[in-house]
Copies of this chain bind each other. A is one copy, B any other.
């Protein structure tokens, strides 16, 4: 069996590795247009922040390491066309410009996503960066030797992680966000507010409900213009969001999501026979809603990639779906969410209730207790927990994982109220805040 994998960054690399273990007879070729594979872009903000210095720290496996296990990796090779009838792909060697045809029995699309770059006037100026590739990281790091005044466009995960790291480097940081609250897809406003307050407390200039309209500069960017004002800047990083790389499948009849992502089932199968998709180019099942969602995270790519590797390798594995769990640390605060937030529950027309409480993370008589705020979203009749968000100075995100396990298995708020969580004064109160949240969510 010949398997071609298009893209080797996260989902593709995981699929290849798992497939190779499950079915060592499979002939695997992975084409990647960059000059590296198996890259953990999540490390980029921390590379920028000098938490480590060798960009190789973000590479999990090299082409040579893959080759040793019998997986053929072709970097600097771009797949430019797919013929799903003939079961072939056309590939361009980006070094030589040579184009050739390769045949597959099974094809895995792992083409990833690209950063959204609105056509702002001045977008072509130097020192305006996006932030997904290894060379984005090294190029920005070079500029930071002189740039002091940094503008981040977008107040999502990446924008806030970057804001933290740049602030800790001593830079003057401005974050401009179009929406009314930061990380607005993940958190409801009352949780986001606490992140925003922490940014402002630390002197990060946060602009909400403000739209970038253009950039000015003479060769290099010098000003960011918004619908409200004009700001001097030395460097701009766009962190607005992602769109799936799906040009390759245009017109081929794939079922696609509202943003173009390739829709897959819980085995990673697309609507075209023998073609699978995984990672940021594809959807993944929302376990609660039991419908596809777009969740371009490394953990999504890795988890579904594992299943696709097994299925292509001949096993009958099924993906249990994702909960959209995610978290962030930003300066002195951390926050996480899992399942549905209220905005989504409302948009989906669910019969839900919510409850938000604030309590100490551990017994007040042991030094270091902090206040956490937790919001639960639960079904109005069955009381099954649909989602949870927690924010606080520490010990918030790992508690979100407790909710993730609970939601995965359909726990009710009553059950959460009596759940036997560890009680020990340095870690919790006799009734942990999770118990209390369950007990008051009637």
State how many angstroms separate the Cβ of A286 from the closest Cβ of chain B.
10
Q: Which residue of B lies closest to A408 (CB)?
A: B419
Indicate whether A249 reaches chain B with its CB closer than 8 angstroms: no
Q: Which residues of B lie under 8 Å from residue A298 when comparing CB positions?
A: 423, 430
Q: Write out, one digit per residue, whether chain A residues 291-303 have a CB within 8 A of any chain B CB (1) or not (0).
A: 0000001110011
Q: Which residues of B lie under 8 Å from residue A432 when comparing CB positions?
A: 401
With contacts A395-B398, A398-B395, A430-B42 known, is A338 near B424, CB below 8 A?
Answer: no
For chain A residues 419-440, which have a beta carbon within 8 Å of chain B? 419-427, 430-432, 434
Q: Which residues of B lie under 8 Å from residue A320 when comparing CB positions?
A: 415, 418
Q: Write out, one digit per residue, whether chain A residues 394-418 have a CB within 8 A of any chain B CB (1) or not (0).
A: 0101111111111011110001001
Q: Which residues of B lie under 8 Å from residue A430 when comparing CB positions?
A: 40, 42, 298-299, 302
User: Of A321, A398, A403, A409, which is in contact with the most chain B CB atoms at under 10 Å from its CB?
Assistant: A398
Q: How far is B395's CA from A172's CA once the two chains are assembled, in angstroms? A: 32
A contact residues, total (Cβ < 8 Å) = 67
User: Is B365's CB under 8 angstroms from A327's CB?
Assistant: no
State how many angstroms separate the Cβ of A361 from the closest Cβ of chain B.
9
Indicate whether A324 reaches chain B with its CB closer than 8 angstroms: yes
User: Is A401's CB under 8 angstroms from B421's CB?
Assistant: yes
One of B363, B397, B403 near A43 (C-beta < 8 A) = B363
User: Is B411's CB under 8 angstroms from A42's CB?
Assistant: no
List 23 A–B pairs whose Cβ atoms lie within 8 Å, in order of A's numbering.
A43-B363, A46-B365, A51-B365, A52-B365, A57-B365, A58-B365, A297-B423, A303-B418, A325-B420, A325-B421, A325-B422, A326-B424, A329-B427, A334-B426, A397-B424, A398-B401, A401-B421, A401-B422, A404-B420, A405-B409, A408-B411, A408-B419, A409-B415
Chain A residues at the B interface, C-beta cutoff of 8 Å: 40, 42-43, 46-47, 51-52, 57-58, 157, 287, 297-299, 302-303, 306-307, 319-329, 334, 336, 338, 363-367, 395, 397-406, 408-411, 415, 418-427, 430-432, 434
